[in-house]
Chain A
Amino acid sequence: MIEMDDPRHARHRRIVSRAFTPRMIQRFTDDVELTAAGIVDAVADRGSCDFVAEIAARLPLKIICDLMGIDDKDQGFVFERTNRILGAEDPEYAAEPGASGATMLHAANELAALVQELARSRAARPTDDLTSALVNANIDGEKLTWQELASFFVLLVIAGNETTRNAISHGLKLLTEHPDQKALWQSDFERYAPGAVEEIVRVASPVIYMRRSLTQDYETAAGQRFKEHDKVVMVYWSANRDETVFDDPHRFDITRDPNPHVGFGAAGPHFCLGAHLARREITVMFRELFRKLPDIRAAGEPDRLQSNFINGIKRLPCEFTPTSTRTTGS
């Protein structure tokens, strides 16, 4: 879908957004809270852990898998495959040096096989998950073929998984580097949450760029001429630091207003389908962290993904006062 133009794109987006409704997301919202609580509880008495693997990565993956109806036992499999697809340029994930295209394709095929099997079972016996909604005809008789469903799923785990994870990891890093902003957010969580989440996404810009190609010659408003077939790369990471739009763009300011960042893409047909869900996940994660581990902080330099596409963090040590020493007894 992300690699399609209208009318093909519009048809996909229509089918998917009918299933991916606010109601559907709302239904999974309780799950977001429960899942986040479970994730934090699991590390709460340890005092330190790898923030990425044990906290940030868990929530988005579980939510997408739950949404699609993927079994808990297959989530490790999904996690590992998405790492390979997105991090294909990073030597840690590529099967062999220079084989990044093959690595990506192979991992994508494995994910596709998993979801096609799921689709087969949901076509026969629908449940209330997204997969069922997508493979069974909706009110206008539209549905996705299994093939289309498979590529949508691959897109979803890729688009909605690492991106949100990295936003959460960058969030902890930013809040650690800016204790005043952390204190401000903690002083009134609900009041500052919407602004804090937007500012984290702006500064992190988890998706560094998206590329387009020209279907015709074109002169931009700024006066640059492009030719048919030219490729242009929109660097969101840079646009989000444009000093003509953002005052003091390198400052992390959770009260920034307005904050017209393009971290989820700019207005247009491809604007991030999961922006609402992502905002919700980031909010819930930090609410839960601040509630149970209020002094959580990054305890070292992040190990960054080597990629010009995803602004990723592979590992980030974190520290906090364990709950067992803070609460008396119980």
Chain B
Amino acid sequence: MERTGELTGGAAMAAEQPLGPDDIDFSDPGFWARPLRDREAAFALLRRQRSAPFYAVTENLGAGPGGGGYYLLTRHADVLEVSRRPKVFSSASGIRIADKPESSSRSSTR
């Protein structure tokens, strides 16, 4: 199982040195460049955590009124719950991590 050479950074995913939740940065493009197996293992790990991890935004992600970060929901049940409650979970400030460009200057609820 010599896969560690493909990884960027020091957080190798070999069995003896598993990637911890804090080593997974969802907004780092380098994370998505990793091999499929590593991404699968990383999300499997996140799904087992008790609560959704919080990530601070990097400068190009644009912090909205919620401050500089976001929670990552990785479980199926959480996705169903959030999608079913649009009054609580709004799309109006954008659906990418960064707020949509015009949302700071214009009211988005008509």
Roughly how many angstroms separate A262 CA and B82 CA in the complex, as a whole number?
12
Q: Using CB atoms and an 8 Å cutoff, list the residues of chain B in contact with chain A.
A: 26-29, 31-33, 40, 43-44, 46-47, 51-52, 60, 62, 64-67, 69-98, 100-101, 103, 108-110
Report if A270-B73 is in contact (Cβ < 8 Å); known contacts: A211-B97, A234-B82.
no
Report if A2-B95 is in contact (Cβ < 8 Å); known contacts: A98-B60, A212-B82, A224-B51.
yes
**B44 CB to closest chain A CB, in angstroms?**
7
Contact with A267, one of B29, B84, B100, B110 (Cβ below 8 angstroms): B84
State whether A9 touches B82 (Cβ < 8 A): no
Of A37-45, A48-56, A242-250, the segment with at least 4 beta carbons within 8 Å of chain B is A242-250
Contacts A238-B47, A262-B76 supplied; 7 other A-B pairs, CB < 8 Å? A5-B109, A232-B70, A234-B83, A239-B74, A239-B78, A244-B77, A262-B79
- A101 located at the interface, meaning its Cβ lies under 8 Å from any Cβ of chain B in the complex: yes
- A320 located at the interface, meaning its Cβ lies under 8 Å from any Cβ of chain B in the complex: no
| 22 A-B pairs whose Cβ atoms sit less than 8 Å apart in the complex | A3-B92, A4-B92, A5-B91, A7-B110, A98-B60, A100-B60, A211-B70, A213-B93, A215-B87, A229-B67, A231-B69, A232-B72, A232-B82, A234-B78, A239-B74, A239-B75, A242-B47, A242-B76, A244-B75, A268-B84, A270-B86, A307-B29
Interface size on A, residues (CB 8 A): 60
State whether B74 touches A238 (Cβ < 8 A): yes
- A210 located at the interface, meaning its Cβ lies under 8 Å from any Cβ of chain B in the complex: yes
Cβ contacts under 8 Å, B31 to chain A: 308
Roughly how many angstroms separate A105 CA and B43 CA in the complex, as a whole number?
32
**B110 CB to closest chain A CB, in angstroms?**
5
State whether B80 touches A262 (Cβ < 8 A): yes
Cβ contacts under 8 Å, A216 to chain B: 88
Contact with A231, one of B46, B78, B85, B97 (Cβ below 8 angstroms): B97
Cβ contacts under 8 Å, B108 to chain A: 3-5
Cβ contacts under 8 Å, A260 to chain B: 76
Cβ contacts under 8 Å, B101 to chain A: 101, 104-105
State whether B66 touches A231 (Cβ < 8 A): yes
